[in-house]
Amino acid sequence: MRVVVTGAAGMIGSNLVHGLNAAGIDEVIAVDDLTEGMKYRNLLGATLADYFDREEFYRRFERGELGRVEAVFHEGACSDTMEHNGRYMLENNYRCSKGLLDACQAQGTRLLYASSAATYGDSSEFRESPECERPLNVYGYSKLLFDNVVRRMLPTARHQVAGFRYFNVYGPREQHKGRMASVACHHFGQLREHGKVRLFGEYGGYGPGEQARDFVYVEDVVAVNLWFLRHPERSGVFNVGSGRSQPFNDVAHATINAVRAQRGEPPLTLAEQVKAGLIEYTPFPEALVGKYQCRTEADLTALRATGCDIEFVDVGTGVHRYAEWLAGRG
Protein backbone atom coordinates (compact mmCIF):
# COMPACT_ATOMS: atom_id res chain seq x y z
CA MET A 1 0.00 0.00 0.00
CA ARG A 2 1.33 3.42 -1.01
CA VAL A 3 0.17 6.44 0.98
CA VAL A 4 0.97 10.14 1.30
CA VAL A 5 1.20 12.15 4.52
CA THR A 6 1.14 15.93 4.13
CA GLY A 7 2.49 17.96 7.02
CA ALA A 8 4.62 14.86 7.62
CA ALA A 9 7.22 16.58 9.76
CA GLY A 10 4.62 18.17 12.02
CA MET A 11 3.28 16.72 15.23
CA ILE A 12 0.32 14.65 14.02
CA GLY A 13 1.86 14.00 10.61
CA SER A 14 5.10 12.59 11.98
CA ASN A 15 3.30 10.42 14.52
CA LEU A 16 1.15 9.14 11.66
CA VAL A 17 4.25 8.27 9.62
CA HIS A 18 5.69 6.29 12.53
CA GLY A 19 2.29 4.69 13.15
CA LEU A 20 1.98 3.63 9.51
CA ASN A 21 5.44 2.07 9.67
CA ALA A 22 4.50 0.22 12.85
CA ALA A 23 1.43 -1.13 11.00
CA GLY A 24 3.72 -2.52 8.27
CA ILE A 25 3.22 0.28 5.74
CA ASP A 26 6.61 1.48 4.50
CA GLU A 27 5.59 2.98 1.15
CA VAL A 28 5.01 6.39 2.71
CA ILE A 29 5.53 9.60 0.76
CA ALA A 30 6.24 12.46 3.15
CA VAL A 31 5.24 16.00 2.19
CA ASP A 32 6.15 19.15 4.11
CA ASP A 33 7.86 22.53 4.02
CA LEU A 34 11.18 22.18 5.83
CA THR A 35 12.07 25.85 5.75
CA GLU A 36 12.14 25.32 9.51
CA GLY A 37 14.74 22.62 9.05
CA MET A 38 14.91 21.22 12.57
CA LYS A 39 11.49 19.60 12.10
CA TYR A 40 13.34 16.83 10.26
CA ARG A 41 14.02 15.33 13.69
CA ASN A 42 10.40 14.23 13.92
CA LEU A 43 10.99 11.87 11.00
CA LEU A 44 14.19 10.29 12.29
CA GLY A 45 13.85 6.53 12.34
CA ALA A 46 10.90 6.50 9.93
CA THR A 47 10.91 4.53 6.68
CA LEU A 48 9.92 6.71 3.71
CA ALA A 49 9.42 5.92 0.04
CA ASP A 50 10.03 9.55 -0.93
CA TYR A 51 9.90 13.15 0.28
CA PHE A 52 8.46 16.16 -1.55
CA ASP A 53 8.33 19.83 -0.73
CA ARG A 54 4.68 20.83 -0.47
CA GLU A 55 4.74 23.06 -3.55
CA GLU A 56 6.18 20.33 -5.76
CA PHE A 57 3.86 17.66 -4.38
CA TYR A 58 0.56 19.42 -5.04
CA ARG A 59 1.59 20.36 -8.55
CA ARG A 60 2.78 16.86 -9.47
CA PHE A 61 -0.02 14.99 -7.70
CA GLU A 62 -2.72 16.96 -9.49
CA ARG A 63 -1.05 16.04 -12.80
CA GLY A 64 -1.04 12.35 -11.83
CA GLU A 65 2.75 12.07 -11.89
CA LEU A 66 3.20 10.13 -8.64
CA GLY A 67 1.61 6.86 -9.75
CA ARG A 68 -0.97 4.90 -7.80
CA VAL A 69 -1.61 6.28 -4.30
CA GLU A 70 -4.11 4.46 -2.09
CA ALA A 71 -4.71 7.26 0.43
CA VAL A 72 -3.61 10.75 1.37
CA PHE A 73 -3.48 11.72 5.05
CA HIS A 74 -3.79 15.49 4.76
CA GLU A 75 -2.36 17.00 7.96
CA GLY A 76 -0.64 19.98 6.38
CA ALA A 77 -2.17 23.35 7.30
CA CYS A 78 -1.58 26.67 9.01
CA SER A 79 -2.76 25.83 12.54
CA ASP A 80 -1.91 29.13 14.23
CA THR A 81 -5.19 30.25 15.79
CA MET A 82 -3.72 33.74 16.29
CA GLU A 83 -2.97 34.22 12.58
CA HIS A 84 -5.22 37.06 11.38
CA ASN A 85 -4.27 37.09 7.68
CA GLY A 86 -7.44 35.62 6.22
CA ARG A 87 -6.15 35.45 2.65
CA TYR A 88 -3.13 33.43 3.77
CA MET A 89 -5.23 31.14 5.96
CA LEU A 90 -7.85 30.40 3.30
CA GLU A 91 -5.22 29.76 0.63
CA ASN A 92 -3.39 27.28 2.88
CA ASN A 93 -6.29 25.58 4.61
CA TYR A 94 -9.17 25.85 2.17
CA ARG A 95 -8.07 26.33 -1.44
CA CYS A 96 -5.15 23.91 -1.15
CA SER A 97 -7.37 21.27 0.47
CA LYS A 98 -10.10 21.69 -2.15
CA GLY A 99 -7.63 21.17 -4.96
CA LEU A 100 -6.32 18.06 -3.23
CA LEU A 101 -9.86 16.71 -2.76
CA ASP A 102 -10.62 17.13 -6.46
CA ALA A 103 -7.37 15.42 -7.45
CA CYS A 104 -7.99 12.50 -5.07
CA GLN A 105 -11.47 11.90 -6.43
CA ALA A 106 -10.19 12.05 -10.01
CA GLN A 107 -7.38 9.58 -9.31
CA GLY A 108 -9.24 7.09 -7.13
CA THR A 109 -7.33 8.08 -3.98
CA ARG A 110 -8.91 8.14 -0.55
CA LEU A 111 -8.58 11.35 1.49
CA LEU A 112 -8.35 11.40 5.29
CA TYR A 113 -7.85 14.96 6.46
CA ALA A 114 -7.40 17.10 9.55
CA SER A 115 -10.25 19.38 10.51
CA SER A 116 -10.47 21.02 13.94
CA ALA A 117 -12.65 21.55 16.98
CA ALA A 118 -12.02 25.26 16.35
CA THR A 119 -15.01 25.00 13.98
CA TYR A 120 -17.24 25.03 17.08
CA GLY A 121 -15.93 28.29 18.53
CA ASP A 122 -18.05 29.51 21.40
CA SER A 123 -20.70 26.81 21.03
CA SER A 124 -21.78 24.94 24.16
CA GLU A 125 -22.41 21.78 22.12
CA PHE A 126 -19.83 19.91 20.10
CA ARG A 127 -21.78 17.87 17.58
CA GLU A 128 -20.96 17.72 13.87
CA SER A 129 -23.97 19.88 13.04
CA PRO A 130 -24.27 23.42 11.58
CA GLU A 131 -26.14 24.84 14.57
CA CYS A 132 -23.11 24.04 16.77
CA GLU A 133 -20.52 25.65 14.47
CA ARG A 134 -19.54 29.21 15.40
CA PRO A 135 -15.77 29.61 14.87
CA LEU A 136 -14.07 32.40 16.81
CA ASN A 137 -11.18 32.92 14.38
CA VAL A 138 -10.32 32.67 10.70
CA TYR A 139 -8.46 29.40 11.32
CA GLY A 140 -11.68 27.75 12.53
CA TYR A 141 -13.58 29.31 9.63
CA SER A 142 -11.08 27.97 7.07
CA LYS A 143 -11.57 24.45 8.44
CA LEU A 144 -15.37 24.79 8.52
CA LEU A 145 -15.42 26.05 4.94
CA PHE A 146 -13.66 22.91 3.73
CA ASP A 147 -15.79 20.62 5.92
CA ASN A 148 -18.85 22.08 4.21
CA VAL A 149 -17.39 21.35 0.77
CA VAL A 150 -16.88 17.75 1.86
CA ARG A 151 -20.43 17.51 3.22
CA ARG A 152 -21.89 18.69 -0.07
CA MET A 153 -19.91 16.26 -2.19
CA LEU A 154 -20.22 13.14 0.00
CA PRO A 155 -23.49 11.90 -1.57
CA THR A 156 -21.73 11.61 -4.94
CA ALA A 157 -18.19 10.83 -3.75
CA ARG A 158 -16.67 7.84 -5.53
CA HIS A 159 -13.96 7.27 -2.94
CA GLN A 160 -13.59 7.61 0.84
CA VAL A 161 -13.37 11.11 2.31
CA ALA A 162 -13.09 11.36 6.11
CA GLY A 163 -12.46 14.55 8.06
CA PHE A 164 -11.36 14.53 11.69
CA ARG A 165 -12.16 17.40 14.00
CA TYR A 166 -9.23 17.12 16.37
CA PHE A 167 -9.75 18.51 19.84
CA ASN A 168 -6.72 19.43 22.01
CA VAL A 169 -4.03 17.04 20.83
CA TYR A 170 -0.89 16.60 22.93
CA GLY A 171 2.05 14.24 22.98
CA PRO A 172 5.40 13.46 21.35
CA ARG A 173 6.99 15.42 18.49
CA GLU A 174 5.39 18.82 19.09
CA GLN A 175 8.33 20.82 20.47
CA HIS A 176 8.80 22.69 17.17
CA LYS A 177 5.34 24.29 17.48
CA GLY A 178 6.43 27.02 19.90
CA ARG A 179 3.48 28.88 21.42
CA MET A 180 1.04 26.63 19.53
CA ALA A 181 2.32 23.51 21.34
CA SER A 182 0.02 21.82 23.83
CA VAL A 183 -0.47 22.87 27.43
CA ALA A 184 1.32 19.69 28.54
CA CYS A 185 4.34 20.55 26.38
CA HIS A 186 4.50 24.05 27.84
CA HIS A 187 4.17 22.68 31.36
CA PHE A 188 7.13 20.35 30.91
CA GLY A 189 9.16 23.30 29.61
CA GLN A 190 8.08 25.60 32.42
CA LEU A 191 8.99 23.03 35.05
CA ARG A 192 12.41 22.60 33.50
CA GLU A 193 13.07 26.34 33.20
CA HIS A 194 11.26 27.82 36.19
CA GLY A 195 10.36 24.97 38.54
CA LYS A 196 6.65 25.71 38.27
CA VAL A 197 3.80 25.81 35.75
CA ARG A 198 1.50 28.69 34.91
CA LEU A 199 -2.24 28.61 34.33
CA PHE A 200 -4.86 31.25 33.63
CA GLY A 201 -6.74 32.57 36.63
CA GLU A 202 -10.48 33.03 36.92
CA TYR A 203 -12.35 33.73 33.68
CA GLY A 204 -15.73 33.09 32.10
CA GLY A 205 -17.32 31.86 35.30
CA TYR A 206 -14.57 29.29 35.84
CA GLY A 207 -12.19 29.35 38.78
CA PRO A 208 -8.38 29.46 38.44
CA GLY A 209 -7.22 26.64 36.17
CA GLU A 210 -10.75 25.26 35.87
CA GLN A 211 -11.33 26.18 32.23
CA ALA A 212 -11.58 22.77 30.56
CA ARG A 213 -10.74 21.06 27.32
CA ASP A 214 -11.13 17.69 25.68
CA PHE A 215 -7.46 16.65 25.69
CA VAL A 216 -6.65 13.79 23.32
CA TYR A 217 -3.34 11.92 23.22
CA VAL A 218 -1.68 11.88 19.81
CA GLU A 219 -1.33 8.07 19.76
CA ASP A 220 -5.13 7.83 19.95
CA VAL A 221 -5.43 10.28 17.03
CA VAL A 222 -3.13 8.02 14.99
CA ALA A 223 -5.19 4.97 15.97
CA VAL A 224 -8.38 6.62 14.64
CA ASN A 225 -6.70 7.47 11.33
CA LEU A 226 -5.45 3.90 10.93
CA TRP A 227 -8.93 2.54 11.77
CA PHE A 228 -10.43 4.54 8.91
CA LEU A 229 -7.64 3.40 6.60
CA ARG A 230 -8.77 -0.16 7.33
CA HIS A 231 -12.43 0.79 6.71
CA PRO A 232 -12.61 2.50 3.31
CA GLU A 233 -16.41 2.31 3.33
CA ARG A 234 -16.65 4.91 6.13
CA SER A 235 -16.84 8.58 5.13
CA GLY A 236 -17.94 11.79 6.81
CA VAL A 237 -16.80 14.49 9.22
CA PHE A 238 -16.12 13.22 12.73
CA ASN A 239 -15.03 14.51 16.13
CA VAL A 240 -11.78 13.03 17.40
CA GLY A 241 -11.40 13.69 21.12
CA SER A 242 -11.49 11.68 24.31
CA GLY A 243 -15.16 12.45 24.88
CA ARG A 244 -14.36 13.87 28.32
CA SER A 245 -13.71 17.44 29.42
CA GLN A 246 -10.90 17.93 31.95
CA PRO A 247 -9.68 21.19 33.54
CA PHE A 248 -6.23 22.60 32.87
CA ASN A 249 -5.55 21.92 36.55
CA ASP A 250 -5.63 18.20 35.69
CA VAL A 251 -2.87 18.66 33.09
CA ALA A 252 -0.70 20.65 35.50
CA HIS A 253 -1.28 18.15 38.29
CA ALA A 254 -0.41 15.17 36.06
CA THR A 255 2.65 16.86 34.56
CA ILE A 256 4.14 17.82 37.93
CA ASN A 257 3.61 14.36 39.37
CA ALA A 258 5.04 12.70 36.25
CA VAL A 259 8.24 14.75 36.64
CA ARG A 260 8.34 14.07 40.37
CA ALA A 261 8.05 10.34 39.72
CA GLN A 262 11.05 10.50 37.40
CA ARG A 263 13.00 12.17 40.22
CA GLY A 264 11.92 9.50 42.71
CA GLU A 265 9.67 11.97 44.56
CA PRO A 266 6.18 11.11 45.87
CA PRO A 267 3.04 12.52 44.18
CA LEU A 268 1.28 15.58 45.56
CA THR A 269 -2.38 16.56 45.52
CA LEU A 270 -3.36 19.60 43.48
CA ALA A 271 -3.79 21.65 46.67
CA GLU A 272 -0.32 20.63 47.83
CA GLN A 273 1.17 21.61 44.48
CA VAL A 274 -0.45 25.05 44.65
CA LYS A 275 0.66 25.56 48.25
CA ALA A 276 4.23 24.56 47.34
CA GLY A 277 4.30 27.17 44.53
CA LEU A 278 4.51 24.54 41.80
CA ILE A 279 1.40 26.02 40.12
CA GLU A 280 1.03 29.75 39.55
CA TYR A 281 -2.22 31.36 38.36
CA THR A 282 -1.84 34.44 36.15
CA PRO A 283 -4.46 37.04 35.15
CA PHE A 284 -6.44 36.14 32.05
CA PRO A 285 -4.94 38.02 29.06
CA GLU A 286 -6.95 40.87 27.58
CA ALA A 287 -6.05 39.75 24.04
CA LEU A 288 -8.06 36.53 24.49
CA VAL A 289 -11.20 38.01 26.03
CA GLY A 290 -14.14 37.04 23.84
CA LYS A 291 -11.96 34.76 21.70
CA TYR A 292 -11.47 31.87 24.09
CA GLN A 293 -13.26 28.55 24.48
CA CYS A 294 -13.72 27.95 28.20
CA ARG A 295 -14.84 24.35 27.76
CA THR A 296 -14.82 21.73 25.01
CA GLU A 297 -15.98 18.11 24.99
CA ALA A 298 -16.23 15.99 21.87
CA ASP A 299 -19.56 14.34 21.16
CA LEU A 300 -18.43 10.93 19.88
CA THR A 301 -21.85 9.70 18.76
CA ALA A 302 -21.08 9.95 15.03
CA LEU A 303 -17.63 8.42 15.40
CA ARG A 304 -18.96 5.47 17.41
CA ALA A 305 -21.77 4.94 14.89
CA THR A 306 -19.15 4.03 12.28
CA GLY A 307 -18.00 1.13 14.45
CA CYS A 308 -14.77 2.87 15.47
CA ASP A 309 -14.08 1.50 18.94
CA ILE A 310 -10.75 3.17 19.74
CA GLU A 311 -10.51 3.80 23.49
CA PHE A 312 -9.12 7.22 24.41
CA VAL A 313 -6.84 7.58 27.43
CA ASP A 314 -7.43 10.20 30.11
CA VAL A 315 -5.05 13.06 30.88
CA GLY A 316 -3.27 11.28 33.71
CA THR A 317 -2.42 8.28 31.54
CA GLY A 318 -1.51 10.30 28.46
CA VAL A 319 0.72 12.78 30.30
CA HIS A 320 2.54 9.90 32.01
CA ARG A 321 3.27 8.32 28.60
CA TYR A 322 4.38 11.70 27.25
CA ALA A 323 6.76 12.18 30.19
CA GLU A 324 8.31 8.76 29.55
CA TRP A 325 8.80 9.64 25.89
CA LEU A 326 10.45 12.94 26.75
CA ALA A 327 12.69 11.32 29.35
CA GLY A 328 13.82 8.75 26.80
CA ARG A 329 15.09 11.58 24.59
CA GLY A 330 16.96 13.52 27.25
Name all contacts of 202-206 with Cβ < 8 Å and 24+ positions apart: 202/284, 203/284, 203/289, 203/292, 203/294, 204/292, 204/294, 205/294, 206/247, 206/294, 206/295
Catalytic residues: 139, 177
Least Cα distance to 168 among 201, 217, 125 occurs for 217
CB 232, CB 185: distance < 8 Å = no
- Whole-angstrom CA distances from 74 to 93, 213, 237, 252 are 10, 24, 14, 31
Pairing of strands 246-247, 212-213: antiparallel
Question: What is the distance between the terminal CA atoms of the chain, rounded to a whole angstrom?
Answer: 35
